[in-house]
Amino acid sequence: MPYQLLGSLTSPYVRRLRLYMTGIPYELNQVNYLDPEQDATLSAVNPLKRIPVLLIDGQPLWESRVIFNFLQRTHQRRALSLSEENAVSAVDTLQDQLIQHFLHVRFGHTVDAANPYYMRGAERQKLILAYLGKQASEGLFTTWDYPAIALYTMLDWSLFRGSLKAEDLSPELLEFHHRHRAAPEVVATDPRSA
Ligand SMILES: N[C@@H](CCC(=O)N[C@@H](CS)C(=O)NCC(=O)O)C(=O)O
């Protein structure tokens, strides 16, 4: 098999690629970067020390967006519109912020909500969620393709980890999450079963 996907069962970035790769054969190789030995194996193929990594005939490709672009071109999948590219950037930015925050807290860092750094992050989160809610209400995520998959996996990871609460989400985003959560491939990749 030419493709090996390195990643964990809880990473939302890995999950979105697993969902996008429905119909593309690949092998999932689980990596727990919190385990020093596995982290060393990961670092040997990816100096960014991050998952996902796609091994293509053994050659590593990093960054979910770059991996998506490669798969989209190679498998003649639908190209994204400019609005969809922006939506994926918005999802990625919020997802990164939420993951960094989650890791800071998990490793004992104290978050001072009155600090301008965190205030700016909170404002960014509010603006991105409002933007994504508007795009959802205008139909940008109607097709189950990379933008919708990235949005779903970000929302679902955030609800799972408690990084976002249902009350942070607009009715459109809640409805979007509700609409997709029972799909078989979504259930099969649920981080709660990891
Ligand atoms: N920009 C990267 C982000 C990937 C990422 O943050 N992955 C997390 C797991 S969800 C990770 O590997 N974190 C390990 C670390 O930051 O040390 C992408 O899109 O692939």
Query: How is the chain split into domains, by residue range?
Result: 3-74, 82-189
Find the 50 Cα to ligand 1 centroid distance in Å. 4
Find the 27 Cα to ligand 1 centroid distance in Å. 19
Q: Which residue lies with its CA nearest to atom 14 of ligand 1?
A: 50
Architecture of domain 3-74: 3-Layer(aba) Sandwich (3.40)
- Find out whether 159 and 177 touch, Cβ atoms under 8 Å: yes
Q: What global pTM score does this model have?
A: 0.97
Q: Which residue lies with its CA nearest to atom 2 of ligand 1?
A: 63
The closest of 58, 86, 54, 60 to 72, measured between CA atoms, is 54
- Find out whether 180 and 152 touch, Cβ atoms under 8 Å: yes
Q: pLDDT tens digits, the chain, 194 residues: what are they?
A: 699 999 999 999 999 999 999 999 999 999 999 999 999 999 999 999 999 999 999 999 999 999 999 999 999 999 999 999 999 999 999 999 999 999 999 999 988 999 999 999 999 999 999 999 999 999 999 999 999 999 999 999 999 999 999 999 999 999 999 999 999 999 999 999 99
What span, in angstroms and rounded, lies between the C-alpha atoms of 119 and 125? 10
CA angle 69, 7, 91 (to 5 degrees): 50
Architecture of domain 82-189: Up-down Bundle (1.20)
The counts of H helices and E strands in the chain are 8, 4
| Pocket around ligand 1 at a 6 A CB cut-off | 11, 13, 33, 49-52, 63-65, 99
Torsion angles phi and psi, residue 146, rounded to 5:
-50, -45
Find the 30 Cα to ligand 1 centroid distance in Å. 14
Q: Which ligand 1 atom minimizes the distance to the CA of 12?
A: 10
Q: How far is CA 42 from the centre of its chain?
A: 19
Q: What is the DSSP string of 101-150?
A: HHHHHHTTPPP-TTSHHHHHHHHHHHHHHHHHHHHHHTTTT-S-SHHHHH
